[in-house]
Structure 1
Amino acid sequence: MTHEIDSGGPTPVGRHLTDWRIRRGLGVADLATRAGVPGQLIEDLEAGEEWVDQGRVLSSLAAGLRLDPAELTGQPYMPHGPGHSTVHSLGWFARRHLARTLSADGAGGEADEARLAELAEGVRAADDDGELASAAQMVPGLLELIGPPRPEDADCRGTALRAAAHVAVSRLLRRLGYRDLAWNLLSHACPPPEAYPAVLGEEVWLLLDMGQAELAVARAVRGEADVPAEVLLPLAVAHAALGQAAESERILASAQEKAISAWQRSQVASAGAFAAAEGAAYDEVLARAEGAAGLPAGDRSALLVLTASARARLGQYEAAVADLATAESLAPLHTRLDPLARELVSVLPARAQEHADVLGGIAARLSMK
């Protein structure tokens, strides 16, 4: 399950790509036709001369092999260290909760709404702050309080709190790579109208991570006037992943107009950077990332991994290593569980040999060495 990073071999995606292509009995040209990508890209990925930093490329390769993108990235990753072991256990708790929800005796009593609100906010805040282990420790108690869906419950506050809890846990599961569990959990949210945008927004992000940009757009768009603000950003990224840059820019502009706080403007700038990455506009990635200084640590780390990859594409290897190291210092587990970070840790040593010690340390903490 571990690999040396200084062998000059392919990245994690490149290794899985070779394994699955052979397993499917496909030649490079066959897969290139199925995936709609150049055969040279596949050859370079498998040889370790290229890496993946675009969701649309990963999705296309996965679709060509009839896989979920997680099969190519290796998610969910085997636990490494106490923090990762703690968050890894969430899969078990989520499965148990879903089994109880579907069982005949799954009905629970009245939940302590104050405690439910406290835990849901605690999980969300810890996730935002990059403290995944702390967030994970609150999840078992939160799942116990959520109980089964009660769409007939007239107490909108209770159903809204349960929906917020579902979103908080689903987002955490999504980050860990448990996308099937995240989707099943969201399907039990039963949100009232005021909580629906948050649930829908998480569904769209989840579909994007699953490589389903077209479904993400279809899920989000229910008439132009009905697209809530919480959904605009993942919708913009989805359009960018589909090569619809003009529509992506239009949606980002709309989101910018609706942003009323520094945090919201930072979120828009970050989404713009991810959208630019889908079009391989790496200078634009760096320019837009400059406007995202107000992000919390968890989101900031993901953006820094993205800018590290953009800098590597531009030949700015020293700056790329610095961004990657900063991302890990801000939110260690966020960064170690990020597939793009693992791709970079595989390719940067050959390009930034003077920083081998830094990269070797990061690789060891990612259990890649």
Structure 2
Amino acid sequence: MGDGPDLIGRRLREVRAWRGLSLRATAELAGLSASYLSRIERGERPVERRSTVEALAGALRVAPTELTGRPVAPHTPGESEGHAAVEDLRGALRDIELDAVTPESTGGLRTLPELRHDVDRAAAASFACDYRCLGAVLPDLLPRVWAHAGRIDGARTLLIECLFHAFYLAKDLGYRDVGWSIAGHLHRAAEATDDPAWVAIADYMRAEAMVGAHARTRALEAVVRSADALTPDAGPAGQAYGMLRLSAALQSAATGAVDVVPDYLAEAADISRHTGDGNFGGQHFGPRNVAVWRVAMAVEVGEIDRVPELAEAVDVEALPLGRRAWFLMDVGRGLAAQRGRETVAVDTLRQAEELAPQLVHANPFVRETVADLLRRARRDAGGRELRGIAYRMGMGA
């Protein structure tokens, strides 16, 4: 299918025709109005929520990625290298699953400080959303750390960290199947530590790998069950508990159960007052992160009028680079949905792009927002800036 700006609408129309379903029948199955669905297909309305994408995918009995078009084709050499690294990760995971990984096959025995240095290098690239640099080290690093996990004290924690970075490389670039495989390995590695906090973080990440209406329901059940099994404290267990409550808010919003979202956010906020801002499991849980999630959930449930006020409560400069980019993407999406705020929305998305271009270019909801803004833009300074973002996304202008 062509890669025009009305991405989801075009794919939706094509898949619906392939299924032989009328527009009205599809709308009824998805719980949407026929007029709204018609506007999506004609490219007159963006699809802004996970719940809408997953309801439509469920109605058409396809994976949500069939509608979002993920993975998005790379448009720069740097982006191409990130995607190529995911394919290399497939090979590394295959070798791991075939028990073909040993210290000898990965370059010989290493000391814990040597492995720590390599994992820290991957972490720096991961938290900066630099998939090019991450992809340059991760496919070789993962099997190397895996080979040492049962041989050196402390290496198992490094393995969990390495799998964490591999998971987000695959997930952020749209390779959900690879992400799911990595999440399974991560969960088994966490269970081997006998640490409930690590297992809870693994539960959180496995839920992140689940997409689709039925999968979201299972994910919600899993994160609620995992949180209920924890005894939250002011340390790692409390941070893991808070992330599970934030995940429960997202899964609820994505399945349309918006009435319970504030309750889960309130529980996360309550525990964050005890934990403070931390970074157990690479999740940066704490009051700052809860404030970021409040913005994301407002966008997800359609409470876009609240976005500016909620965004004001976030200490943007204190956020890690990757988290700041996610925050700016959500704010930009929320502002773009409000008439008269298009220029500031474009400026906000441009700030996100400057921080993490590969992340922004690959995000299907940002692409929908940019496509919608393109349709509304006039030939002014804001329009030129917007067309620049669209061009760098490979969407044309």
Q: Does 2:328 match 1:312?
A: no
Moved more, 227-236 or 198-207: 227-236
Q: CA deviation at 1:284?
A: 2.0
- Between the aligned partners of 1:80 and 1:223, the Cα distance in structure 2 is 40
Report deviation, 1:232: 2.1
Q: C-alpha displacement at 1:111, in angstroms?
A: 5.4
Percent identity among equivalent residues? Answer: 26
> What is the DSSP-based 3-state SS (H/G/I as helix, E as strand, rest coil) of the residue aligned with 1:14?
helix
Report if aligned partners of 1:306, 1:340 keep a CA contact under 8 Å in 2.
no
Is 1:199 the counterpart of 2:202 in the alignment?
A: yes
| Cα distance, 1:266 vs structure 2 | 2.0
**Distance change in 2, residues 1:289/1:138 (3 Å):** farther
> Following the alignment from structure 2 to structure 1, what is the Cα–Cα distance between the partners of residues 345 and 248?
28
Distance across 2 between alignment mates of 1:199 and 1:119? 22
Deviation at residue 160 of structure 1 after TM alignment: 2.1
Structure 2 partner of 1:8: none
1:87 aligned residue: 82
Please tell me whether the aligned partners of residues 234 and 271 of structure 1 are also in contact (alpha carbons under 8 angstroms).
no
1:104 Cα offset (Å): 5.0
Structure 1 distance, partners of 2:213, 2:133, is: 26
Which range is displaced more, 190-199 or 222-231?
Answer: 222-231
Counterpart amino acid of residue 310 in structure 1:
G
- When residues 220 and 357 of structure 1 are mapped into structure 2, their CA distance, relative to the original with a 3 A threshold, is same
Matched letter for residue 270 of structure 2 = E
After TM superposition, give the deviation of residue 114 of structure 1 in Å: 2.7
Contact 2:3-2:395 within 8 A present in 1 as well: yes
**Equivalent residues of 1:146, 1:162 under 8 A apart:** yes
Match of 1:133 in 2: 132
Amino acid at match of 1:252: L
Q: Deviations over 1:281-336 (max 9, x none)?
A: 00223322333323222222222222222212211111111111111112111111
Q: 1:106 to 1:128 in 2, by over 3 A?
A: closer
Partner of 2:15: 20
Three-state SS of the structure 2 residue aligned to 1:84 is helix
Task: Give the superposition deviation at 1:3.
Answer: 4.1
> What TM-score do the two structures reach when normalised by structure 2?
0.84
1:142 paired to 2:141? yes
1:123 aligns with 2:119: no
Other structure's SS at 2:154 match = helix
Verify: 1:33 aligned to 2:57, yes or no: no
Superposition deviation, residue 223 in structure 1: 6.2
2:132 counterpart letter in structure 1: A
Q: Are the counterparts in 2 of residues 305 and 340 from structure 1 also a CA contact under 8 Å?
A: no
Structure-to-structure mapping, 1:91-102, within 5 angstroms: 91-102=86-97
Counterpart of 1:350? 375
Is 1:185 aligned to 2:179, yes or no?
no
Match of 1:339 among 364, 377, 396: 364
- Residue number in structure 2 paired with 1:233: 246
Secondary structure, counterpart of 2:25 in structure 1: helix
The residue number in structure 1 matching 2:386 is 359
Counterpart CA distance in 2 for 1:86 and 1:46 is 33
Larger mean Cα displacement after TM superposition, 122-131 or 60-69: 122-131
Tell me the equivalent position of 1:215.
218
The within-5 A match list for 1:251-266 is 251-259=264-272, 260-261=276-277, 264-266=286-288
**Aligned residue pairs, count:** 362
5+ residue gaps in structure 1? 6-10
* Matched ranges for 1:277-288 at <5 A: 277-288=299-310
User: 1:299 aligns to what?
Assistant: 323
Distance in 1 (CA, whole Å) between partners of 2:116 and 2:248 is 28
CA deviation vs aligned residue, 1:41-95 (integer Å, no higher than 9, x gap): 2100111110011111111111111122111111112221111011011221121
Where structure 2 has 5 or more consecutive residues not aligned to the other structure, the ranges are 231-240, 279-283
Stretch deviating more after TM superposition (313-322 or 210-219): 210-219
- Identify the residue that residue 47 of structure 2 maps to in structure 1: 52
Does 2:257 correspond to 1:244?
yes
**CA distance, structure 1, for counterparts of residue 67 and residue 395 of structure 2:** 16
Q: Give the alignment's Cα RMSD to 1 decimal.
A: 2.4
Contact 1:204–1:231 (Cα < 8 Å) also in 2: no
SS of the residue corresponding to residue 219 of structure 2 reads helix
Equivalent residue of 2:208, what SS? helix
SS at 2:209 equivalent: helix
Q: 1:309 to 1:105 in 2, by over 3 A?
A: closer
Q: 1:22 to 1:364 in 2, by over 3 A?
A: same
Aligned to 2:234: none
Q: Whole-Å Cα distance in 2 between the matches of residues 124 and 38 of structure 1?
A: 45
- Residues 239 and 247, structure 1, Cα contact 8 Å, conserved in 2: yes
Tell me if structure 2 keeps the 8 A contact 1:236–1:271: no
Question: 2:293 & 2:348 partners in 1: Cα distance?
Answer: 18
Q: Is the 8 A contact 1:200 1:220 kept in 2?
A: yes
1:122-166, Cα deviation, whole Å (9 max, x unpaired):
33332222322222222123223133697xx48662222212211
